[in-house]
Chain A
Amino acid sequence: MITTMTKEEILALRNEPWRDELRKKMSPKDRGALERVKMPELTPDYRVKTFTEEVQQGLTKEMAVAEAQRCLDCADPSCMKGCPVGINIPTFVKQIENEDFEGAIATIKKTSSLPAVCGRVCPQEKQCEGNCIKLKMKQKPVAIGYLERFAADYERESGKMKAPECAAKNGKKVCTVGSGPSALAFAADMIKLGYDVTVFEALHEIGGVLKYGIPEFRLPNSVVDAEIDTLRKMGVNFQPNTIIGKTISYEQLHEMGFDGIFVGSGAGLPRFMNIPGENLIGVMSSNEYLTRINLMGAGRGQGFDTPVLKGKNVVVCGGGNTAMDSARTAKRMGAETVTLVYRRGLDELPARAEEVHHAMEEGIDFHVLHNPLEYHGDENGRVKEAVLQVMELGEPDASGRRSPVPVEGKTETIPADLVVVAIGVSPNPIIPTNFKGLEISKKGTIVVGEETMQSAVSDVFAGGDIVRGGATVILAMGDGRKAAANMDEYLKK
């Protein structure tokens, strides 16, 4: 974790006169009596017919201020301990209560380079909100995620997006491999520190998983692009269509004068289950399904050349956020039924609670405690049905979750003309196979120092999925920030 502020610094900000005054305006008891805000949302019937309109509409100014009043402004804010990038949460929340929205976004941007993204996709219930003191008081936590999003959206919609100030150029050049959340966080910190920063991206669009993976109804591309524009204004140079390790080698990067390289090349090969029928037409990875639709525009109106198969009865395998995204996307593509098949129970779903809730509202059928056994195809080689093994929960496994075990002889066959496999990905193999001297784990991830993010090749740092195997946007951003701080130390020596 990054500790960006000491206890004393946090307290000093808390003791500023305006904040003292604000605290006294309302008693903790009155603050405790306020109801947690409800995020305005499009109705399920309406939203399954639109692809780009965001399900969650964002808080109004009044809602945001009222929600901020619920925060007790603790002297020892536990919420901050749950934030992988160490945002000074109480300060920005109180700035919102004080209607200083510009101040609020400035506070957030001190430590987070993608607030509009994080406000939308972070698993807050496991991080900041999961650590909120109010939970101990049997109250609902402050809606920190909604408030973060509000501050970021307020700034963007006001048309006055400010690029944070950068230090004078220090004459050193660094680059990133990839342009997803870890690389963007790294780039933001390094450009602020005075480095010359180039972001190399393999695809034709900047943003990585934020573009190809997360659908627009959850994270609009325009929101991602606005954050990227801020980085561009700060001087970050973006180079799409460039594959480090292929187009440009490690040695060539040095010839080009790069002093440090941050590898945030992310997820690679999608995992399949290696069961019969998995290579039938109509069985595809969630990466393929979502990339075709999100990045390439397939099935989204006229003019896009990339096709995507549509299904009447879609089966999605998996229980994570990507599975929820795939299932909800299939619904928007016009599927009559969408069945999510997950081998554990509802309580074990790894997806964000909010995504599960939204998926259920949209009519996704949760077929938990089932696991695909095989797929059958028609005479053209297109999948037509899925055979599922019925499961039950056994003893807790190493992860503490009760492990699913097959119920002997009990199977179920359901129609499926499109199957999306969302059971995870392996790290992208391009850098591990093309950079000499890296230490690579059995899983194919790059091994780095836990605190430094430095690899076995001293000028190569790495973070995000290429190091963790599978991570959230915010953990990847935390890695990028840590790598930036440590690479800065390394390059100053």
Chain B
Amino acid sequence: MNKIVAKEYFSENVVRLEIEAPLIAKSRKAGNFVIVKIGDKGERIPLTISDASIEKGTIDLVVQRIGVSSRKLTDLNVGDYVTDLVGPLGRATEIENFGTVLACGGGVGVAPLLPIVEAMKKAGNRVISILAARSKDLIILEDQMRKWSDEVIIMTDDGSYGEQGNVTVGMEKAIAKEKIDKAIVIGPTIMMKFASLTTKKYEIPTVASLNTIMVDGTGMCGACRVTVDGKTKFVCVDGPEFDAHKIDFDEVMTRMRAYKTEEAEALAAFNNK
């Protein structure tokens, strides 16, 4: 049981939770995720750690209210307990001084990007961050991202904030301006696919962080498997980050839809309660 010590709404459906988890706060590294379960009959869902404090013994999770489990989690309030929380899971991001790093976050993908940007900056990189979302109210963690970035580009689909256009428009602009040595893309799978195609044109080494369906999250079930460079990989233990140019994104998108019907039915039932 882990206690929620702070809760903040970034927007109507995006919530930051600060949760007591001293051991995880101490051992986590940028790129790691946790598995969370709410209630005895809850589902195990993976969430990337967006920040942590060893002093406070807490970790931060940014959660988008999409399905039943994310709603149950974000319906909890300060003082409530998360039934089960386990981590840190997955391999940590490879951090070194690459030179100039282009960090692209789409929607809530900015949350898992934040600790990577921080670590990249601390490793001596010049960091250019792109925050992309549908509209202004979905741009999150801007101040924190600015703190660790040399430059921040904001892109919105409707032009309500920053520049109008999707993430690739901002990427093209940054790439045209200076030499990029490494790119990191995190966000919806479709966004990662096109961001990855953009960097591929310029042969910029790129990693993407996948957020596939998982059950145990410890390398046991294989629900999260993806094809990378023609080989089957497990996101939970081999990832979550992979060479973006080698990921079969179309397969990832298909597999993400495996439980679409069941998820929709469950959500309808949940909302009717």
Binding site for B on A (CB under 8 A): 202-204, 212, 240-243, 246-249, 267-270, 272, 274, 278-279, 281-282, 284-285, 287-288, 291-292, 296-297, 303-307, 309, 380-381, 425, 428-430
Contacts and interface: CB of A to CB of B under 8 A. Distances in A.
B248 to A, nearest CB: 8
A306 B215 contact: yes
Given A240-B84, A247-B23, A306 B44 contact: yes
Nearest to A280: B254
B41 A304 contact: yes
Nearest to B270: A305
Contact of A272 (B37, B222, B255): B222
Given A249-B27, A279-B227, A296-B43, A241 B259 contact: no
B31 to A, nearest CB: 13
Contacts of B27: 246-249
Interface stretch (B85-93, B107-115, B175-183, B184-192): B85-93
B47 to A, nearest CB: 14
A267 B220 contact: yes
A247 B27 CA distance: 6
B262 A307 contact: yes
Interface string B16-48: 000000011001000000000101011110000
Contact of A279 (B39, B43, B89, B232): B232
A282 to B, nearest CB: 8
B232 A248 contact: no
Contact of A305 (B24, B87, B266): B266
Q: Give the 5 A-B residue pairs with the shortest CB-CB distance, closest first.
A: A307-B262, A288-B221, A305-B43, A381-B254, A204-B84
Given A243-B86, A243-B89, A281-B255, A291 B221 contact: yes
A303 B41 contact: yes
B86 A287 contact: no
27 contacts: A203-B218, A242-B86, A243-B87, A243-B89, A246-B88, A269-B219, A269-B237, A270-B220, A279-B226, A279-B251, A282-B258, A284-B221, A284-B222, A284-B223, A287-B222, A288-B215, A288-B222, A292-B215, A305-B41, A305-B69, A305-B72, A306-B43, A307-B262, A307-B263, A381-B255, A381-B257, A428-B218
A206 to B, nearest CB: 13
B141 interface: no
A248 B23 contact: yes
Contacts of B24: 247
B249 interface: no
Contacts of A304: 41
Contacts of A267: 220
A269 B234 contact: yes
B23 A285 contact: no
A279 B39 CA distance: 31
B220 A246 contact: no
A363 to B, nearest CB: 26
A287 B255 contact: no
Contact of B84 (A241, A270, A306, A428): A241
Contact of B255 (A246, A249, A279, A305): A279
Q: Is the interface of B mostly helix, strand, loop or mixed?
A: mixed
A202 B86 contact: yes
B38 to A, nearest CB: 8
Given A281-B255, A288-B215, 20 more contacts: A202-B216, A203-B216, A240-B84, A246-B87, A247-B24, A278-B232, A279-B226, A279-B232, A279-B255, A281-B257, A282-B258, A284-B221, A285-B222, A288-B221, A296-B215, A304-B41, A305-B42, A305-B43, A305-B68, A430-B237
A306 B259 CA distance: 10
Interface string B71-94: 010000000000111111100000
A243 B23 CA distance: 11
B225 interface: yes
Interface string B234-267: 1001000000000000010011011100110010
Contacts of B266: 305, 307
Most interface-central of B39, B72, B215, B262 (chain A CB within 10 A):
B215
Contact of A296 (B44, B86, B89, B220): B44
Nearest to A310: B262
B215 A270 contact: no
A291 B254 CA distance: 22
Contacts of A240: 84
A309 B260 CA distance: 11
B45 to A, nearest CB: 9
A414 B257 CA distance: 24
Nearest to A247: B23
Contacts of A202: 86, 216, 218
B215 A285 contact: no
Nearest to B225: A279
Nearest to A288: B221
Nearest to B72: A305
Nearest to A204: B84
Contacts of A303: 41
Contacts of B263: 307
B215 to A, nearest CB: 5
Given A279-B251, A288-B215, A270 B86 contact: no
A305 B226 CA distance: 24
Given A292-B215, A297-B41, A307-B266, A247 B87 contact: yes
Nearest to B221: A288
Most interface-central of A212, A285, A288, A304 (chain B CB within 10 A):
A288
Given A279-B232, A284-B223, A306-B43, A291 B215 contact: yes
A86 B68 CA distance: 50
Given A243-B86, A243-B87, A269-B237, A281 B221 contact: no
Contacts of A247: 23-24, 27, 86-88
Contacts of B262: 307, 309
Contacts of B237: 268-269, 429-430
A288 B85 contact: no
A287 B23 contact: no
A202 B87 CA distance: 9
Nearest to A202: B218
A359 to B, nearest CB: 23
Contacts of A212: 216, 220
A267 B43 CA distance: 22
A204 B86 contact: yes
A224 B237 CA distance: 29
Contacts of B225: 272, 279
A362 B23 CA distance: 48
